[in-house]
Amino acid sequence: MKTSSVFYYSCFTIIFLWWLVFSPVFFFGSFNYVEEIVSLDGKFKVVSYDVIPSTPISIYQSLIENDVFIVMYGVKGEYLGQSSPFEFSDVDGVLGDVVFFPGESGNADFFSINGVGDYTSGYEIPVSNMRWWSRISSFFR
């Protein structure tokens, strides 16, 4: 009896943490598509998506702030990673200025945005070494 309650508690905790952290940025497609930019050489594409209002904080981020997250794709449309699930900004703050794809302007192997503030590091997407949230998401892509 005790083993099953520990199992259920563990499952509940994992599901709760997934809901809290990943649900606003886990599902994306044409229903929350905002904008896309293709690199000059055509090897990479970043697409911005609206945050899904699935948690109390993401409701605020989606409906009041109009925040977005970014997903980067390769030349064949393969998923390469996405921006941090912890830092958000609106689409003008993210894609409204110059963006740097891998190989451009000294960026060896990651996508980055031009800007001032703490949120810019949350929008860096490495190509060769996925961050942990992109690894988790890649299992379902």
As a whole number, mean pLDDT of residues 59-75 equals 92
- Confidence bin at 92 (pLDDT 50/70/90): confident
Strands 89-90 and 99-100: unpaired
Task: Report pTM.
Answer: 0.86
Interatomic CA distance for residues 55 and 23, integer angstroms: 8
Domain boundaries, given as residue ranges, for the chain: 2-138
- Confidence bin at 107 (pLDDT 50/70/90): low
Average per-residue pLDDT in the chain? 87
- Confidence bin at 31 (pLDDT 50/70/90): very high
Question: Which pLDDT score, from 0 to 100, does residue 116 have?
Answer: 62
Above 60 in pLDDT, residue 89? Answer: yes
Higher pLDDT, 108 or 98: 98
Above 60 in pLDDT, residue 1? Answer: no
Higher pLDDT, 103 or 39: 39
